[in-house]
Amino acid sequence: MDIMQVEDSLVCTRRVPGLASVSLRVLRSASGSRAVAVDTVGARPGNWVFTISGSAARLAVGKEILTDLSIAGIIDRWEEDSRGESG
């Protein structure tokens, strides 16, 4: 599972049926790369979250939702800066 920060919501009108009605968030890792995750916990921009990938991502938010990345939880306290470089 990875640690990422919520950057924004993803607005995407045309989608495959398996993702029709889910909330999508754009996340940013410590190294600056971006990913899109399904959010069922109500994460807000700026929150640090940890994410589940693979088939567990699907099971975590409902088997019928066809995601490969889901927000698993909001981290209570995370100070990226004080931890120095991370990848």
Residue 73 binds its own copies (CB under 8 A):
yes
Name which position in 13, 46, 81, 82 contacts its own copies (CB under 8 A).
13
Q: Report angle CA 71, 13, 40 to the nearest 5 degrees.
A: 20
Q: Report angle CA 23, 70, 85 to the nearest 5 degrees.
A: 115
| C-alpha torsion sign, points 68, 18, 61, 26 | positive
Over the window 14 to 53, marking each residue x when it contacts its own copies by CB under 8 A and - when it does not, the resulting string is xxx-xx----x-x-xxxxxxxxxx--xx--------x-xx
Enumerate binding residues for its own copies (CB under 8 A).
1-3, 10-16, 18-19, 24, 26, 28-37, 40-41, 50, 52-61, 66-77, 83, 85-87
